[in-house]
Chain A
């Protein structure tokens, strides 16, 4: 069988892969884009990178579909591609904190606005810490983050503590201090 040239069987197998990949894509592509948005403010680059990552995943989908956590795997691949794109663009260093003259920031009203606000803060973290925080917000477990980013488990846990502290500071600087009182948990 494996020796056979591309035949009807092969086409059938490809269609099956296409179908399961499409399902996977529709379930996860928004998560991947949101994940990338927290690492890169340029929406155009985020879309390009997301597309490139999914094309590469499709090429490996036969294997990837059986991985422990295909979604996390895509995020890891997308992150690598993103860093490559960013390096190619040249490092226009991100704004320093004191460069920003912050206008009054309105409280987000929709989930989308809230996600954008959160992304804006995570973008200001050191790159690796931002990656850890972004994956954490997508519910990726610590061990998986450590493996995806090639860092130690201890580093992930330390970065989560430090990252949360910095995010709280950033939120506070933007005037988000008082709990809304509508949290039910």
Chain B
């Protein structure tokens, strides 16, 4: 079947008896409505032409002009014989001139058209004349008063006898409103399509949600009514097969998404810590017990799980932040644990702010003093040279079994108070000691919290430590981690200037999330910008992430800032980042973090063994 078959079939339509009956009823309805309308004296004709437009009229151009005018459209006509241009009052008004003259100069017309659209309009007129092709053209008018209007014109050839062309006529009207709607629609479509493409790999309702989202949700829930927060720390009861370390995380996430009801929500706080928020205070303890019990019955990679859980209730009467609730639930879990392999302990309400602060301070202090903090180094690939010549120094906290854990919770806890300054100072001192004892052939990047950055005396402390350990400042980059807002931006700028004067570099971390914003970028003299991993993990699948990263890289190149991408998980992502023009990349695709040895006093020129492997 083709187009002509379908046209033929469509034309074969004969009104059925049903159609005829329906037609008669419809005719009666029309007559009834007509009678009612005339009785009410309504005007039925509207803008209906009162003459027979089909009667043969004098002249084609006159006919077109008349129709245009009755439709409130403007027209402009070019007569080939005289070369004269005439226009209607309406067209004159569209161009921003009072409707006084019927003749118009060619330059007035051309100059009234937006410079960017002039060529298109000229082409439309030429096509109309030489190829007899009618063209609908939408263009902008730049009026004398500076306003811009969108106009749509039909440019057509006049040829009253159907053979010999006599001129050109353009009829049109203001479509500004419609054009803006159309542009908006096109933008929306693109936006939706980009976001829609994201949904393929990033489900809208994720369970469990990530740490930040979870804390935001707890904030909102705890602020609006009663509820209870359960925090579970999970560990395998035995050793997992090699390469199955993330099995626990995946298993627990799976269990939680199954057992947590839709009305409540769960989040992953770190690979070994999970949170669940229950809205119903009455049943929360029973539900928490059930979740806890479920987990202890679960195996991951053939190994049973141990769970240590703390539940804290909030009545919604006393305001408490999600983060404080989290600290309390974790504290309850630890306190209630006391040597038992698995336990759930319940706290009837949030602790006092004072008790919380003191506990955090003690804990952070204890971690530093008892040597539970460790440094790891994650290799960074320089994409221009295609070699690993930098390392980011990462903090790890040893858990009860002396296994290093990512410090998300520990740092978040420390960052709440001033304790983070102590942690950061420890990291700087320790890192520089290790670096100073090595060959100093690689560049190191050290994290500093936004809070530490504005702490008094930091610049002096850092510069002294550099001298003390004889570290080449040009081989050090300080990464500003903006998980908390920089308290005192001017003080941070002073620090940045001081260390950069020495030759250190400054990087802005986690760009694109949290407080890491364009305004911080404007104020701080930053040498490197690290694009947050959340934009990198889905890069090869998500057009949205790709466009964002491309734009950030373009912006940084123009600003003279180098870019780094975190969390690159596969070779394809690394290649894409290279194509986009990113300078540095790190992530599992490059290498996993490895422990940095702890010798504070070590023979110089005798670098940590792993460095030789990594750079070689």
Question: Which A residues are closer than 8 A to B by beta carbons?
Answer: 18, 21-22, 25-26, 29-30, 34, 51, 54-56, 58-60, 63-64, 67-69, 72-73, 76-77, 80-81, 90-93, 96, 99, 107-108, 110-112, 114-115, 117-118, 126, 128, 137, 144, 146-155, 157-159, 167-168, 171, 176-180, 182-183
Nearest CB of A to B154, in Å: 7
> Is residue B3 contacting chain A, with contact meaning CB distance below 8 A?
yes
- Given A55-B34, A80-B48, do A25 and B156 touch, yes or no (CB 8 Å)? no
* Top 9 closest pairs, chain A to chain B, by CB: A150-B67, A111-B13, A114-B9, A114-B10, A155-B134, A115-B10, A171-B3, A59-B44, A25-B27
* Contact across chains for B71 and A67 when beta carbons are under 8 A apart: no
Nearest CB of B to A182, in Å: 7
Which residues of A sit under 8 angstroms from B23, Cβ to Cβ?
25-26, 29-30
CB contacts under 8 Å to A, within B18-48, are 19-20, 23-24, 26-31, 33-34, 37-38, 44-48
Enumerate 30 A-B pairs (CB-CB under 8 Å) in ascending A order: A18-B31, A29-B26, A29-B27, A30-B19, A51-B30, A55-B33, A56-B44, A56-B45, A56-B46, A58-B30, A58-B31, A59-B37, A59-B44, A60-B50, A92-B185, A108-B9, A108-B10, A111-B12, A128-B136, A147-B54, A148-B53, A149-B67, A150-B63, A150-B64, A151-B64, A152-B134, A155-B156, A158-B132, A158-B134, A177-B2
Task: Indicate which residue in A60, A114, A155 contacts B6 across the interface (CB closer than 8 Å).
Answer: A114
CB contacts under 8 Å to A, within B170-189, are 171, 178, 181-182, 185, 189
* Contact across chains for A150 and B19 when beta carbons are under 8 A apart: no
Which residues of B sit under 8 angstroms from A179, Cβ to Cβ?
1-2, 4-5
> How many residues on the B side are at the interface (Cβ–Cβ under 8 A)?
67
* Contact across chains for B52 and A67 when beta carbons are under 8 A apart: yes
Task: Indicate which residue in A25, A63, A144, A157 contacts B26 across the interface (CB closer than 8 Å).
Answer: A25
CA distance A21 to B6 in the complex (A): 32
* Contact across chains for A63 and B52 when beta carbons are under 8 A apart: yes
* Contact across chains for B54 and A148 when beta carbons are under 8 A apart: yes
Nearest CB of B to A85, in Å: 12
* Contact across chains for B156 and A151 when beta carbons are under 8 A apart: yes
* Contact across chains for A90 and B53 when beta carbons are under 8 A apart: no
* Contact across chains for B169 and A137 when beta carbons are under 8 A apart: no
Which residues of B sit under 8 angstroms from A117, Cβ to Cβ?
6, 10
Task: Indicate which residue in A68, A93, A111, A182 contacts B181 across the interface (CB closer than 8 Å).
Answer: A93
> Is residue B540 contacting chain A, with contact meaning CB distance below 8 A?
no
* Contact across chains for A147 and B57 when beta carbons are under 8 A apart: yes
> Is residue B200 contacting chain A, with contact meaning CB distance below 8 A?
no
Which residues of A sit under 8 angstroms from B31, Cβ to Cβ?
18, 21-22, 58
Nearest CB of A to B89, in Å: 17
Nearest CB of B to A138, in Å: 10
Give 15 new A-B contacts, CB below 8 A, not counting A128-B154, A154-B159.
A29-B26, A30-B15, A34-B13, A51-B26, A59-B45, A63-B52, A91-B182, A93-B181, A99-B189, A111-B10, A115-B13, A117-B10, A151-B134, A154-B162, A155-B157
Which residues of B sit under 8 angstroms from A25, Cβ to Cβ?
23, 26-27, 30
CA distance A179 to B8 in the complex (A): 12
> Is residue B7 contacting chain A, with contact meaning CB distance below 8 A?
yes
CA distance A159 to B14 in the complex (A): 28
Which residues of A sit under 8 angstroms from B7, Cβ to Cβ?
114, 118, 137
CA distance A118 to B68 in the complex (A): 29
* Contact across chains for B13 and A112 when beta carbons are under 8 A apart: yes
Nearest CB of A to B100, in Å: 25
CA distance A111 to B8 in the complex (A): 8
- Given A96-B189, A150-B63, A152-B157, do A58 and B34 touch, yes or no (CB 8 Å)? yes
Nearest B-chain residue to A137, judged by Cβ:
B7
Which residues of A sit under 8 angstroms from B171, Cβ to Cβ?
150
> Is residue B564 contacting chain A, with contact meaning CB distance below 8 A?
no
* Contact across chains for A73 and B52 when beta carbons are under 8 A apart: yes
Task: Indicate which residue in B1, B33, B46, B67 contacts A176 across the interface (CB closer than 8 Å).
Answer: B1
- Given A114-B9, A154-B162, A182-B5, do A93 and B185 touch, yes or no (CB 8 Å)? yes
Nearest A-chain residue to B68, judged by Cβ:
A150
CA distance A58 to B159 in the complex (A): 35
* Contact across chains for A51 and B29 when beta carbons are under 8 A apart: yes
Interface of A is mostly: helix
Which residues of B sit under 8 angstroms from A146, Cβ to Cβ?
60
Which residues of A sit under 8 angstroms from B52, Cβ to Cβ?
63-64, 67-68, 73
Which residues of B sit under 8 angstroms from A90, Cβ to Cβ?
181
Which residues of A sit under 8 angstroms from B34, Cβ to Cβ?
55, 58-59
* Contact across chains for A51 and B33 when beta carbons are under 8 A apart: yes
* Contact across chains for A167 and B136 when beta carbons are under 8 A apart: no
Which residues of A sit under 8 angstroms from B60, Cβ to Cβ?
146, 152-153
* Contact across chains for A154 and B182 when beta carbons are under 8 A apart: no
> Is residue B133 contacting chain A, with contact meaning CB distance below 8 A?
yes
> Is residue B55 contacting chain A, with contact meaning CB distance below 8 A?
yes
Which residues of A sit under 8 angstroms from B364, Cβ to Cβ?
none
Task: Indicate which residue in A99, A144, A150, A157 contacts B71 across the interface (CB closer than 8 Å).
Answer: A150
Interface centre among B1, B34, B71 (most CB of A within 10 A): B1
* Contact across chains for A180 and B1 when beta carbons are under 8 A apart: yes
Nearest B-chain residue to A164, judged by Cβ:
B3
- Given A111-B9, A151-B134, do A176 and B3 touch, yes or no (CB 8 Å)? yes
Interface centre among B5, B68, B169 (most CB of A within 10 A): B5
* Contact across chains for A154 and B156 when beta carbons are under 8 A apart: yes
* Contact across chains for B3 and A168 when beta carbons are under 8 A apart: yes
CA distance A167 to B49 in the complex (A): 31
CA distance A182 to B6 in the complex (A): 12
CA distance A178 to B225 in the complex (A): 68
Which residues of B sit under 8 angstroms from A93, Cβ to Cβ?
181-182, 185
Nearest CB of B to A118, in Å: 5
* Contact across chains for B5 and A55 when beta carbons are under 8 A apart: no
Nearest B-chain residue to A69, judged by Cβ:
B54
* Contact across chains for A126 and B189 when beta carbons are under 8 A apart: no
Interface centre among A51, A128, A147, A171 (most CB of B within 10 A): A147
- Given A67-B54, A147-B54, A152-B134, do A60 and B20 touch, yes or no (CB 8 Å)? no
Which residues of B sit under 8 angstroms from A67, Cβ to Cβ?
52, 54-55
Which residues of B sit under 8 angstroms from A76, Cβ to Cβ?
53
Nearest B-chain residue to A76, judged by Cβ:
B53
Task: Indicate which residue in B1, B57, B165 contacts A178 across the interface (CB closer than 8 Å).
Answer: B1
> Is residue B215 contacting chain A, with contact meaning CB distance below 8 A?
no
> Is residue B380 contacting chain A, with contact meaning CB distance below 8 A?
no
> Is residue B230 contacting chain A, with contact meaning CB distance below 8 A?
no
Nearest CB of B to A96, in Å: 7
CA distance A146 to B13 in the complex (A): 26
Which residues of A sit under 8 angstroms from B26, Cβ to Cβ?
25, 29, 51
Nearest A-chain residue to B171, judged by Cβ:
A150
> Is residue B531 contacting chain A, with contact meaning CB distance below 8 A?
no
* Contact across chains for A153 and B159 when beta carbons are under 8 A apart: yes
Nearest A-chain residue to B64, judged by Cβ:
A150
Nearest B-chain residue to A67, judged by Cβ:
B52
CA distance A154 to B45 in the complex (A): 30
